[in-house]
Structure 1
Amino acid sequence: MTVRKSLPAPLADLTDRFFYRANIRLKLFYAMLALIVVVIVAINSAGHYIFTRDFLGYLNEQAQERMEDMVPRLEQAYRDNHGSWEFIRDNPRTWFALMKPAIVEHTGAGPAPGPTFTPSDLTGATLRFTLLDTRRQFVIGYPNVGADARLRPLMSNDTLIGWVAQTPFESVIGAVDLRFQQSQFLAQTAIAVIAIMLAAFLVVRISGVLLKPLSRVANATHKLAGGDYATRVEVASGDEVGQLAHDFNLLAMTLERNEKLRREFMADVSHELRTPLGILNGQLEALEDGVLQADEHTIRSLKSEVVHLNKLVGDLYDLSLADAGALTYRKDDIDLAPLLRDTVQMIEDRYRKRGLRIEADLPASMPLHADGARLQQLFNNLFENSLRYTDQGGLLQLHCRLEQQQWQVIFDDSAPGVEAAALGRLFDRFFRVEASRSRAGGGAGLGLAICRRIVEAHQGSIAAADSPLGGLRIRVALPAGFARPDPEHTQESTA
């Protein structure tokens, strides 16, 4: 996006039209086409550089060495011919004889040497030499001496007697150079056409492999956005695209489950609120019609429904705060043992009225850094749950022990038990083992869900299992020991 903003407006519009708005297939083709162009330009530049710098430079160096070799012979010939160049003017035989390389004298130890050729002879360097007089007037040799010719002075007794000019190789190969460039252009054009065809073929193949699963994911995403949470994508590979399809399926499953939970939640909330409101409305209408009298029994019945409604609303509020991470905790160093003893004493009378017994085995002290009020709420809910769902004449055993720096608080009650399939869902909101149970026998299914949020806020864990007494075992694990917080650290937090 930043690159597009930095471009001129016309170029940005062109880029937006041909690249950013193009589909993936065209983007792949553009990318491969750009790569081909870059490679061809690089090859052409490298070939031109090698041809002009290395190859032609080598030829000119060979010619320069040949020119240096012939300079002493030209100077000696000038002196031998009475200080004049007339002996060589219009005499190519003498000129070429002076340009021949020096021949080493034969010693007789081996066969006589044959004609001597050097690389400069094979590349025509001698054909590009020119002899000039002191006024740089043409004497013999290559006639078309240009401004780019390399000049070498000829001296005799410290006096300038002439010049030898070497015309660079590149100045005499105009037609060859043009033919070379044309051959390169034709070869590059053929390579470019073949490369573009190959790129188009590869794009079609790659897009067929990549875009088909991506298109399936895109189509499924449109359906998912439209509310079809049952949409799934086939996972056909183990690469990134396959991982994307797998993650999409997980997302769809999560959304489907959340949508189901949302509908169940709304139905349960409406049911739980409608029941006490309906009873209140019915009893108030009966009071208006004179069917019921405003006596102590009627007022107690109305008050019980208001209490039930208030508890339900309070639980919903606490649960919503816990889900949003806004439930406030004021943690301090406390002793859990007295808190549990007080809770047992407060609820023991209600257990006795239901024909139930409580056996508590608590240590003398249970140091803990926690919010005492929230833990009181936690244990009240657990005692209430056991009170509601334990058969008359049953037993609740409470025992605590220290394991691996954690206090294990274990609630074991007697029959009835809970099916294994339902144990993992006991802490879900509005979940009840028996959906058809009467309101008098159970709550709204929020107590254990709130318990889990409180325990997790204290960095602990809570789990349900079968009890040895034939009922339900709930194990709460909380970190043991007092904290030593920084003096500036606040004790109030949210979770």
Structure 2
Amino acid sequence: MFHLPRLSLAAKLFAAVFATAMAVALAMGVSAQINLNRDFLGYLNEQAVNRLELARVSVAAGYVENGNSWDFLREQPSQWGWLLRPRLPEAEAPAVKTSPADLTGATRRFTLFDADRQRIAGFPLPSSNAIERAIVVDGLTVGWLVLTPFESVSSGAEKRFADAQALVAWGVGGGAVLLAAAVAFWASRRLLQPVRRVAAATHRLAAGDYTTRVAEGRRNDEIGQLGRDFNQLAHTLQRNEAMRREFMADVSHELRTPLGVLHGELEALEDGVRRLDGAALRALKGEVSTLHKLVDDLYELSLADVGALAYRKADLDLRELIAGTAGAFGERIQGSGLTLQLALPEQPLPAFGDERRLRQLFNNLLENSCRYTDAGGALRISARREGGHAVIDVQDSAPGVLPEQLPRLFERFFRTEASRNRRSGGAGLGLSICQRIVEAHEGRIEARTSPLGGLWLRVELPSHG
């Protein structure tokens, strides 16, 4: 089966513009030709009718001068041409000029009939649509002067004029077609060249080359916007690919550490190097708990990414929730050698949220401070209402975080290179989970430098009541 070749976008654009121009030029040429012929023939016939009126006066005068008879024309047909000359008063004679009807040979289409409709002189075959004028002498119709109208342009001056007009019309149409072809060729190459570059870059991007970019130039039209959007897409894909690789590397690293410890402990027990006692069991249980916590955090983050993390929101008191969480962390805070400073309002701090998820939020914030703050430091927790929001501040003492690293604290597996690193045992997922929980409650969380010398985490949640 024969298949037509696939046309490029440039070829389709060229064909569309060129075909449209051809159709318009052809329609203009045909309509111009039709209108020219119709109007020109109408003009010629109008001039011929005017000439017919003048000829009727002359023919009537010739009839009277020759004894009220048409015999002089029957005997001398050569008198017919002389008889058709217009007869005007002597005062108007100098102003008489040859009429357009005489130039186009309209008088050759005149036919003279007598009163009985018998042809006397003139055009031998008058048409059925001939124009008649009665020749009246002394109130009696003595004959008929008939004009056969023009039905087409014949040879002569009128044909040369019509041909010249048609030539001009078709010349203009042909020039318009050539101009349209040039414009279509320019548009197909010039305007679509950036589109072809984007298409080629898209193929490279689809093949996995996320470093590909297109030259944006200084265009402010849709094509320029397309180039900028493509570059933004390529940048996002490149960044996501880098994050994916970092994520896989971090996950494998976090899993390798506790698995390596478990493997070593089990080999030691198997070889008899270590006895199976309470200490060995606690060590194994600790590594399993680390693995379990990492898997749970990854699972929660995956649910949050697809919007499947369940929330059961209800009215609650944030003051009571924060106080309960801080009380449960009392031993953990003391074990880390920290001093807790709690500043809560006397009145309830109402909010609308999921109590279990918000408790998880505050647990992660306190765990982050206990894990990464040096012993002998301080942990300050305050809460208050500002406008329509409840503001919770969690500040700790040294070590701190560099200002340029603060925005990245909520990235998965991100840790600073200072004392807040893997030696403290964290996987770097706690703050990412905190951010998802806060965003699910239509709030926001941000990291700042604490006046105490460490990290300051501020949480703003919509307040109700």
The two structures have a TM-score, normalised by structure 1, of 0.81
Hey, what's the Cα distance between the residues in 1 that align with 2:265 and 2:49?
Answer: 123
**Aligned-partner Cα distance in 1 for 2:216–2:341:** 55
Q: In the alignment, is residue 168 of structure 1 matched against residue 149 of structure 2?
A: yes
> In the alignment, which of 417, 424, 435 is matched to residue 441 of structure 1?
424
How far apart, in 2, do the equivalents of 1:288 and 1:160 lie? 145
Structure 2 match to 1:60:
45
Shift of 1:170: 3.6
Give the one of 373, 395, 405 matched to 1:390.
373
On the 8 A contact 2:59/2:83 being kept in 1, the answer is: no
Which amino acid is the alignment partner of residue 59 of structure 1? Answer: L
Change (3 A) 1:436 1:141: farther
Percent identical:
49
One of 264, 272, 284 as aligned partner of 1:302 = 284
Deviations 1:344-391 (A, max 9, x none): 111122101211122222222122121221111111111111111111
Please state how far the C-alpha of 1:339 moved relative to its aligned partner.
1.0
Contact 1:99–1:126 under 8 Å retained in 2: no
SS state of the match for residue 401, structure 2? Answer: coil
Instruction: In structure 1, list runs of 5 or more residues that go unmatched.
Output: 1-8, 107-111, 483-495
2:331 partner letter: D
Q: Aligned partners of 2:165, 2:53: CA distance in 1, in Å?
A: 35
Aligned residue runs from structure 1 range 142-291, under 5 A:
142-152=123-133, 162-171=143-152, 173=154, 202=183, 205-206=186-187, 209-239=190-220, 240-291=222-273
Deviation at residue 262 of structure 1 after TM alignment: 0.5
Distance 1:201 1:418, change over 3 A: same
List aligned pairs for 1:87-106, cutoff 5 A: 87-89=72-74, 90-91=76-77, 93=79, 97=83, 100=86, 103=89
| Cα distance between partner residues in 2 of 1:51 and 1:189 | 12
The residue that corresponds to 2:435 in the other structure is 452
Match of 2:11 among 26, 50, 53: 26
Structure 2 gap segments, 5+ residues each: none
- Once the two structures are TM-superposed, the CA of residue 291 in structure 1 deviates from its matched residue by 2.7
Over the residues paired in the alignment, what is the CA RMSD in angstroms? 3.5
Q: In the superposition, relative to structure 1, how do residues 165 and 115 fare at CA in structure 2: closer, same or farther (>3 Å)?
A: same
C-alpha distance in 1 between matches for 2:266 and 2:157: 113
Please give the secondary structure, in 2, of the residue aligned with 1:294.
Answer: coil
Matching residue within 302, 319, 332 for 1:350: 332
Structure 1 residue 36, shift from structure 2 partner: 3.5
Q: Which residue of 2 aligns with 1:489?
A: none
Tell me, in whole angstroms, the C-alpha distance in 1 between the residues paired with 2:107 and 2:95. Answer: 16
Shift of 1:298: 1.9
2:94 to 90, 101, 114: 114
* Partner SS, residue 329 of structure 2: helix
1:48 is matched with 33
1:406–1:477 contact (8 Å) kept in structure 2: yes
Count residues with an aligned counterpart.
461
Query: Which deviations, in whole Å up to 9, do the C-alpha atoms of 1:317-362 show, x marking residues without a partner?
Result: 1101111122121222222221111111111221012111222222
- Residue 267 of structure 1 aligns to a residue whose secondary structure is helix
The two structures have a TM-score, normalised by structure 2, of 0.85
CA distance in 1, matches of 2:166, 2:455: 87
Check the 8 A contact 1:283/1:302 in 2, yes or no: yes
Q: CA deviation at 1:125?
A: 3.3
Equivalent residue, structure 2, for 1:140: 121
Quick check: 335-344 or 282-291, which moved more?
A: 282-291
What is the identity, as a one-letter code, of the residue corresponding to 1:341?
A: A
Helix, strand or coil for the counterpart of 1:330?
coil
Q: What is the CA–CA distance in structure 1 between the aligned matches of 2:254 and 2:432, rounded to whole Å?
A: 16
| Structure 1 pair 159–443 and aligned structure 2 pair: CA distance change class (3 A) | farther
**Structure 2 match to 1:36:** 21
- CA distance in 1 between partners of 2:288 and 2:405 (Å): 31
Contact 1:92 1:140 in 2 (8 A): no
The amino acid that maps onto 1:361 is: A
CA–CA distance in structure 2, aligned partners of residues 179 and 403 of structure 1: 94
Change (3 A) 1:313 1:162: farther
- Once the two structures are superposed, residues 387-413 of structure 1 have per-residue CA deviations (whole angstroms, 9 ceiling, x without a partner) of 111111111212222223111111111
CA shift for structure 1 position 263: 0.6
Give the Cα–Cα distance (whole angstroms) in 2 for the partners of residues 247 and 101 of structure 1.
Answer: 86
**Distance (whole Å) between structure 2 residues aligned to residue 215 and residue 171 of structure 1:** 55
Give the whole-Å Cα distance in 2 for the aligned partners of 1:446 and 1:283. 26
What corresponds to 1:361 in structure 2? Answer: 343
